[in-house]
Amino acid sequence: MLWIVPPNINSLGLFWYYVIIGATYQLFYTVVNLPYIAMTPELTQDYDERTQLNSFRFAFSIGGSILALILAKVFFSSITNHQQQYILLAATCSIITILSLYCCIWGTRDSILAFEAKRSQFEGVKSTHIAEHLATSLSNRPFLFVIGIYLFSWLAVQVTASMIPYYAVECIKLRESDVPAVLICVQGSALLMLFIWSYIAQRIGKKFVYFLGILLWIIAQVSLFFLQPHQVILMYMIALISGCGVSVAYLVPWSMVPDVIELDELKTGHRREGIFYGFMIVLQKLSLALSLFFVGIILESSGFQGRLQDQTTLILQPESTIFAIRLAISTVPTICLIISLFLTYFYPITKEMHAEILLKLRQNNHSGQDL
| Predicted pLDDT at 371 | 43
Question: For the whole model, what pTM was predicted?
Answer: 0.78
Query: Which fold would CATH assign to domain 140-302+316-370?
Result: Growth Hormone; Chain: A; (1.20.1250)
Interval 6-25: pLDDT, tens: 888 888 999 999 999 999 99
Under-70 pLDDT residues of the chain: 47, 118-128, 307-314, 365-371
Quote the CA–CA distance of 154 and 265 in Å, as a whole number: 27
| Predicted pLDDT at 366 | 60
| Predicted pLDDT at 368 | 52
| Predicted pLDDT at 179 | 85
